[in-house]
Amino acid sequence: MSDIKRVTELHIISKLSAAVSGHPFYPFFGGTAFANKDEVEPPLSVVAIVDAEKVMQHEGTWLLTGSVQVITHVADISSQAHATLSRSIYGALDSIPAEVVNAAYSFHGIHITGMSSTTDSESQCHADIIKFVCGAGG
């Protein structure tokens, strides 16, 4: 269900934006509330929910799989500063609480399943990918 995926991406973005001020977070598919993808430049992070599986047949409870991709330019930030930023985002993601957001949506919690790093030599970018699963209802 794309609605639960989108709502969960936006919920995670709001929590990460509050915890890591001054760093931009974007949903995977963008949208009118976000910059045109051609205008977006690192440093930035992208929140992507890639899968949603309904786990309770008679309730709107979903298990979602996603990631936060932390991207910076090699020329603009040292690898040490990139690692510090990634650790900050990891901590903020891990700290998102379970809560009833409104009558139509509740966030049941998050579990980080892994983190990997890569460097894109063509684009001259550092990237860390923080993978997670979370539960949500709507």
pLDDT in tens, 4-51: 999 999 999 999 999 999 999 999 876 665 656 566 789 999 999 999
Higher pLDDT, 69 or 118: 69
pLDDT at 112 over 80: yes
SS3 assignment, position 81: helix
The residue-averaged pLDDT of 65-81 equals 94
Q: For position 118, what pLDDT does the model report?
A: 87
pLDDT in tens, 83-107: 999 999 999 999 999 999 998 999 9
Strands 99-102 and 61-73: unpaired
Whichever domain contains 106, its CATH number is: 3.30.2000.30
Indicate yes or no: pTM above 0.85. yes
Burial 93-116 (b: 16+ CB within 10 A, else e): beebeeeeeeeebbbeebebeebe
Q: What is the count of structural domains for the chain?
A: 1
125: domain range?
Answer: 2-137
Q: For position 29, what pLDDT does the model report?
A: 79
